[in-house]
Structure 1
Amino acid sequence: MTNAPITLGPMPDANGYFGEYGGSFIPPNLSAAMADISKAYDEITKREDFQAELHSLFANYVGRPSPIFHAKRLSDKLGGAQIHLKREDLNHTGAHKINHCLGEALLAKFMNKKKVIAETGAGQHGVALATACALVGIPCEIHMGQVDIEKEHPNTTKIRILGATLVPVTRGQATLKEAVDNAFEEYLKNPEDYFYAIGSIVGPDPFPRMVRDFQSIVGKEAREQFQDTHGKLPDIVAACVGGGSNAIGLFTAFLNDASVKIVGVEPAGKSLDVVGQHAATLTKGKPGVIHGMRCYVLEDSEGVPSAVHSIASGLDYPGIGPQHSYLKDAGRVTYETASDKETLDAFMELSHVEGIIPALESAHAVAWAIRTAPTLPKDTHILINLSGRGDKDADYVAKLLNI
């Protein structure tokens, strides 16, 4: 562990730490494999041909830049701050996940790996990685909790159609944590030939920085777009936080702008007061180690990662990206929560008022904005990362609401 002073300068340090968080807590036999990935990542990102190919795919395959939409009807209805949406839901595959999945798939190809392995919660990472692997021609294996498979059926169908192998995980809660455990165990069988494409800014170094770097295009675009349209930066930027990739993708571009308030919105689930009924890691957790990194962790009375709950499968995780842990301690990012009910209400409100069906994950940030906007002046601008679309959630929500 390091004890670096609080700074918003370049992160992480040479050992993969964001202050006291991050690092690489892995079995000795994996150290060489992680070092190889780190070396290959550092090498490939310096190559002009890699950057040219990635940016060509962003433009011509993903459809970047994603637009910013002023949710004027919703803003007018709330009678306060102006709400704007960074439309990552319009990307190919329907979410921000494709941004880092293309990078990881190209890296796996560069390293001559024979199979790419990953976990998925809501299925968006699974769909995006299956898509990227089909594009570059590498076999793909997606591990997904059985609960999430039943909850996110449209995405599981897409994963199979794209040619990937879907591995159901039935142990424990059969959700995202167990999917991570299962995928990692498979990766351990042959780390020389397999590539583990982590789906967020979590895990051992270099993954928190690597996924962040690929996702940083979201904030870079948003910063330029907002200034071009409004002649200023937004007053507030906000995003949902589970592992934290969509949030850090937006936040990174604004970290050094003192005029911009940054808000991450965690899942309060059914109750913040009951262990296992929420997944608000930064709000209720404490520093610990999970899945190869030091970060804030939700633990039970025995000191092991606790059961968690969120209406959104992609936020159903008892850990958090180490950079988010650092930014909480630094006080640069404010972490709020939204409950399942608020999220479901926001899902329906955005659908009815703006004709945009958001992912349940993204709807957490929308719920916070709906709650907050009326308390702010009308000339305040809130920019939300609408990280995914709600096609995957439509059947589940319809069942919940008896639509």
Structure 2
Amino acid sequence: MGLSERIEGLRESWRPGHALLVIPLALIVVITVVDLLAPADIHLGPLLVIAPAITASFAGPLSAGVIGVLAVAAQAFIGLHFGILTSRSVLVQIAAIAVLSALVVFFCLIRERHGQELARVRSVAEAAQQVLLWPLPDRIGPLRVASLYLAAEDEALIGGDLYAATRTGGGTHVMIGDVRGKGLAAIGEAALLLGAFREAAHQHASLPALAAALERSVGRYQADFEPESEAGERFVTALLLEIPDGDPIIRMTSCGHPAPLLLSPGHSVTVPSLHPAPPLGVGGTGQTGYTVDVFTFEDGDTLLLYTDGVIEARGREGDFYPFAERAARWTDSSPEMLLRHLRRDLLAHAGGYLGDDAAVIAIHRIPAVDSAGSGLHHGKAAQSDGFRHGSGRTGPAREC
């Protein structure tokens, strides 16, 4: 191992808390020196217990123990210097510093054990997040994708918001949803819906059939697990999307979920006009009750899917987060940079705390030149797809 590698290893092992050990060491030296120079009727030795006490705030039990031993040794040195080491007063002071230092070390041990338990719990939560919310790939066919999840509950990584994407034939199906409520019940319902979507997306070709299948899954879950006290109060808003590889369109079916934002180069933001059905779990409407809205989604466009935790985030003055206005600033950014900007801006607006979980997905259609290597090409929308060209960017056509 070379000298540079050894230096780098020492640098990695050196924690910021180690540098703070200079403070209690300096306190021990200063208190000892001042006590030696002060008049005989002034005794500052008992103040040495401050050193191990403050060490506990940034270091572990070993460091606190070492500082405690040094504090006891300093008090003994003061007594030895004045020739009163064996006096009752000095012996009591030494014993008091030793006992208080031992208590500090004891509480440091308890804190360290609790920290280890919390770390294990967080590792389990991270594993659960990976199982429940599978990380979306950076690339899905001709699409670049990025996702963001912000949990409102302290120390939580997952909640009642959900999203998923899967390849089906010549396109991609995407779902984003929001379970009413919080806590373990919301997480359980989110897990059920995600599993149902991943399976049903490959069995049902149309979005209405997919929505009806998800409605049946949610209904069965509620019948088995919904408490009687919450009967009729549990539901899930969801937005289902189908993005064909070869056509510059996107099909959407909304089950009570907010419409996404369509970002185009040049700071252009459009809100598609949807015809939402009731949320999942309110009551099945059958396949004929779900509408498919079709919009243009051309090369270079970015679609922003989100949950209501984003648009309902309040600032210090009670104002809602102006999502569309802020997103317009970064229409030319990549999906990853776009969500990075939005995350920082959203948390700044909300003062660092969100009242509800928030999830955002950015879907960017890669220009044909960039996606040529994948063998995927984009053509113009056919009239049979239900698309109407008009003066607007999102002139909808409806499929039932």
Q: Using structure 2 for the length normalisation, give the TM-score.
A: 0.27
Q: Which has the larger radius of gyration?
A: 2
